[in-house]
Structure 1
Amino acid sequence: MNKQADILAGLASSLSYPGAEIIVPVCEKWVMPPLFEAQEHEEGEREESMAITITSGVLADWRQPLIDYLQHGRLPKDLQKRIEIRRRAPRFLYFSGTLFRKSFGIILLRCLSNAEATQAMNEAHSVSRISNSYNKKLRQHYYQLGDMMLAVKQPIYTLRKNVKIVPKWDGPYVVQEVYTIGSYLLVDQEGLKVGPINGCYLKKYYP
């Protein structure tokens, strides 16, 4: 360090005389050889240098370390990551270019990339919003044991033109059982059981 300081001090003092012509050699020292000079190194060193990748602003695919281990037996250099990959690997299967997660029984769940997972969540959220909107518009029906009901039956089709298909009602029936899912078990006057039928296909009968 003292030798370098003396050299710099001498250089500074020489630069203080503008009238003299000074030649200052500039040297470039590499900490490691350039990447493209891999041909001058051994094969193993070339593979090690080519394994280095730099990404900027791109989220790494969480599946890749598992795929590398399951397909090629490669592990990350970080010890904690190596332990984590080995611990999780038995729960995954790599087949035909796709990573699957083993579930109960023989069910295999396809592993999604970050972009695919985001898209799936957006689609599920959209379907949920549509379903909630429909459920708000759906009129709820609540009936009790002993209520007399009419049940809608299949529409009657006719060969005539310009005739609307109008649903007809069967009954009357009596509510024999009430289920928490909004369905009802009915019984007719002869004791024949019908259902369960969802409440949206029923209406009260007033004799």
Structure 2
Amino acid sequence: MKELIQAALAEVNVCLPGVIVAYDGKTATVRPAMPKQLANGQTLVAPQIVQVPVCWPIADGGRAMVTVPLKPGDPVKLNFSQRSLENWLSGSDQAPDDPRQFDLSDCFATPVMRPGPVADTENVCIQYGPGTIKLAPSGDLTINVPTMTVNAQQTTYNSPVTVNGLLTYTMGMQGSGGEGSSISITGGAQFEGGALTHNGKNIGSDHKHGGVVAGGDESDVPV
């Protein structure tokens, strides 16, 4: 009886570490990371499994999603369904046509599962290459990236903003209202190109005061 049970269990697939062979953004070709050991002590090379659905955290009808790029050799966790998935993958929730159970062909892949990488034990951390995003228990957010590009119709900051590096703008700059709405600049200011105006009046380098005699001062202006 024990041998019969062991023989039956040997054909049951539940969960295995796997490796990505190829990935097209929807399904993957994978292989179990470990070979199968037979009852006589021999090992059987794990076969490749094709068209394996790759599962990601997805919600709100697919509008909310978290994914990572998968490359050949990346580790995944393989889960094997207790029922045939063919009908379900084609969009049907009806009973499966095939009675097979825990078969290698009815496999899900879940990235990315492998012990070993040293994790940040204090913060919620997202890392890819040299870029990191860290959220501390205090709620403070730190972003470290070589370059950051924000494409938004409008960006609003409801807090003071400090810029420690060079501030460059290409589409003009304007502001109005608020307490202490004047601009204070410590150090020199250099303006190049275009007219410098105040309340619609030119106060740039080509602005001249009428009635001032060359070489004179305000006392030279006739009353």
Please say whether Structure 1 and Structure 2 have the same fold, judged by a TM-score greater than 0.5: no
Q: Which has the higher contact order (CA 8 A, sep 6+)?
A: 2
TM value normalised by structure 2? 0.19
Structure (1 or 2) with the greater helix fraction: 1
TM value normalised by structure 1? 0.20
Structure (1 or 2) with the greater strand fraction: 2
Task: Name which one, 1 or 2, has greater alpha-carbon Rg.
Answer: 1
